[in-house]
Structure 1
Amino acid sequence: MKVKDFTSALEEIAPLNYAEGFDNVGLLVGDYNDEVTKVLVCLDTTPEVVDEAIKEGANLIISFHPIVFSGLKKLNGKTYVERAVIKAIKYGINIYATHTALDNSFDGVNRGIVNQLGLINAKVLIPKNDILKQLVTYVPTEAAEKLKLALYEAGAGKIGNYDSCGFLVEGKGNFRPLEGANPTIGKVGDLEEVAETRIEIIVPQHCEGKILNALFANHPYEEVAYSLINLVNKNQYIGLGMIGELETEMDEKSFITYLKDKMNTPIVRHSRLLDKPIKKIAVLGGSGAFAIKNALAAGADAYITSDLKYHEFFSAEDQIVLMDVGHYESEQFTINLISSYLKEKFSNFVIFNSGIITNPVNYS
């Protein structure tokens, strides 16, 4: 198995174009065509994790956080980032990061928190937009079924829990082949009128290349007429954070105790308690202060995230309880999420979790 086999599998649930613009995801160190010995899954690729990979004979590290986040101008080992990269290159270890691509996945980081807390009726808190397109094409009616099925097979027409979604309407098309044309239907110089079918279908951006290849390979015309239109529609199944409900509401103090236990954290920093029951809960793994307004707008009783600053707690406005469980703690279940998914895909391959706790924050 090659590096690209594992990364392509992971990108089925976390395509790289899901990532936020500021992020640095994908293969950060190495070669997609390298043969893989073992796979190590971790939250952070520290020098100690690279040592662990070397010791265990793993040459592919799949990390949640990218070890290279901004540009490296030098590689002389002065920082832990440089030391990790230098060591990985020296020992032929590939490093791949998924980060906000997995954050935005419906089956990603925040789904892990939702499952850990036992929330029901979960949906995306901040649906992502500008990642869908619409393909419109015209094809002779007798060829429409074959083309439609080929487009579906390539990934077009998938919306949430539905696939093969498209719209077809029959009409008449006109064209005149000019000198040099090699028309499938008609003759050069003659105006033709053909019974055609208009196909309209959603194109997820990460499948665009594959879908267009299918269009050209299965369309009978020499010159394929099509439009690819950017959509501003929000995708309800892709985006940051999630919101769900407890099966049974809790009082605030009981919920904080429950939260500590489920998130395996010794402390929860929170805004003022409101003496109201907790039922509807918004979550966002990692630094989530920017989404306080979204949790409020969604009517959440509590918002669970991390890295909240002093003044950000005032944003609760006595309408919601903000709960900071810690950055590492909010993302710790991501390791099992990634490794479990890959083990299902590659059941006969050695895939293991790092045994190193990379949390830089300590509690005394």
Structure 2
Amino acid sequence: MPTVQQIEAKLFEFAPPDLKMDWDNVGLLVGEPDRLVEKVLVALDITWEVAEEASRIGAQLIVAHHPLINCKWLPVQTVRSDTPQGALLIALLKGDISAICMHTNLDAASGGVNDALAAALRVNDPGPLTREGIGRVGTLSEPVPLRRFVAEVSRCLHCNGLRYADGGRSVHRVAVGGGACGDFVDQAVAAGCDTFVTSDLSYHDFLDARPKGINLIDAGHFPTEQVVCPVIIDTLKQAFPELEIVLSASHGEVIQYYV
């Protein structure tokens, strides 16, 4: 059986740590490097439900996308049982469950989040959207009306719902950005895209879509990044066929829509 450290090394071969953003925190974040692993749970986030699921199925390791400590949205200063983040970390440590997180390095990696998103939406010949390798730009096999493409995005990504703004163009040259890539709308415009699929867009992003001449589709953070979990599983299965690898059944889209 491989160790936690050997699994981390294999994941770093696929998504090298030097691809991560400066503020990010990736790799083995919780646990013992020399711990032998028989079962791995793969999830987009490490939540209470995911930690309980790992304990219930006897997984020694969770591999996730979003970091659970020392990231810009949850900087760790203390590990206390009376805080949500501290209690989760303590539960993982008490349960002897290690955690490896592959975040912006997996966004930028060839075959990672954004290539998986482009493949799910049938975007052909995807190339990088930004200098850092975040996002992808490619083309559909043929132009399609926006409403038809919106329906296809929702179906392919299993969205509970999505938000979009009509930029006044049919869909052919498409940019994708898994997760919160609203900062890259102008890059998508500069790349000649008529459509950008991402998540966490602001009111002003949608307001400016038509003046900029680009269709914006906010398909949700979870749906646009969950596409990478099967990629992680396939990568680990090929490297460690003796491992039992399970996709989390407890973690799903947390945002509900009422229309």
Q: 177, 187, 190: which one pairs with 1:297? A: 190
Give distance in 1, aligned partners of 2:238 and 2:31: 24
Q: Which residue of 2 aligns with 1:341?
A: 235
> Are 2:115 and 1:108 equivalent residues in the alignment?
no
State whether residues 2 and 34 of structure 1, in contact with CA within 8 Å, keep that contact through their aligned partners in structure 2: yes
| 2:180 matches 1:287 | yes
Once the two structures are superposed, residues 124-149 of structure 1 have per-residue CA deviations (whole angstroms, 9 ceiling, x without a partner) of 11132xxxxxxxxxxxxxxxxxxxxx
**CA–CA separation in structure 1 for the residues paired with 2:42 and 2:227:** 12
Q: Deviations over 1:227-258 (max 9, x none)?
A: xxxxxxxxxxxx10001111121011111111
Contact 2:167-2:216 within 8 A present in 1 as well:
no
Establish whether residue 88 from structure 1 lines up as the match of residue 101 from structure 2: no
Residue 215 of structure 2 aligns with which residue?
321
Cα distance in 2 for partners of 1:332, 1:311 equals 26
Tell me whether 323-332 or 352-361 shows the greater mean CA deviation.
Answer: 352-361
One-letter identity of the residue aligned with 1:54:
S
Unaligned runs of 5+ in 2: none
1:1-364 equivalences under 5 Å are 1-68=2-69, 69=71, 70-128=74-132, 239-274=133-168, 276-316=169-209, 317-364=211-258
Which one-letter code corresponds to 2:110 in the other structure?
F
Query: Could you tell me how far 1:363 is from its partner in structure 2?
Result: 2.4
CA deviations over 1:8-32 (Å, ceiling 9, x no partner): 1111110111110111111111121
Q: For the residues of structure 2 that align with 1:124 and 1:27, how far apart are their CA atoms?
A: 27
Task: Please tell me whether the aligned partners of residues 43 and 251 of structure 2 are also in contact (alpha carbons under 8 angstroms).
Answer: no
Aligned counterparts of 2:223 and 2:131: Cα–Cα separation in 1: 24
Contact 2:37–2:243, Cα closer than 8 Å, also in 1: no
Letter in 2 for 1:62: V
Distance in 2, matches of 1:259 and 1:48, equals 28
Contact 2:118 2:126 in 1 (8 A): yes
AA aligned opposite 2:8: T
Q: Per residue, is there more strand in 1 or in 2?
A: 1
Give me the whole-angstrom Cα distance separating, in 2, the residues matched to 1:106 and 1:16. 13
Q: Which runs of 4+ in 1 moved over 6 A?
A: none
Structure 1 counterpart SS, 2:229: helix
2:229 aligned partner, one-letter code: I
Larger radius of gyration: 1
Deviation of the 1:302 alpha carbon? 0.2
Contact map agreement 2:3 2:33 (CA 8 A) in 1: yes
Is the contact made by 1:46 and 1:80 (CA closer than 8 Å) also made in structure 2? no
TM-score, normalised by the number of residues in structure 2? 0.93
What secondary structure sits across from 1:303 in the alignment? strand
Letter in 2 for 1:109: V
Percent of aligned pairs sharing the same letter: 32
Distance 1:254 1:48 in 2: 36
Please identify which structure carries the higher helix content.
Answer: 2
Provide the C-alpha distance between the structure 1 equivalents of 2:175 and 2:190, rounded to a whole number of angstroms. 11
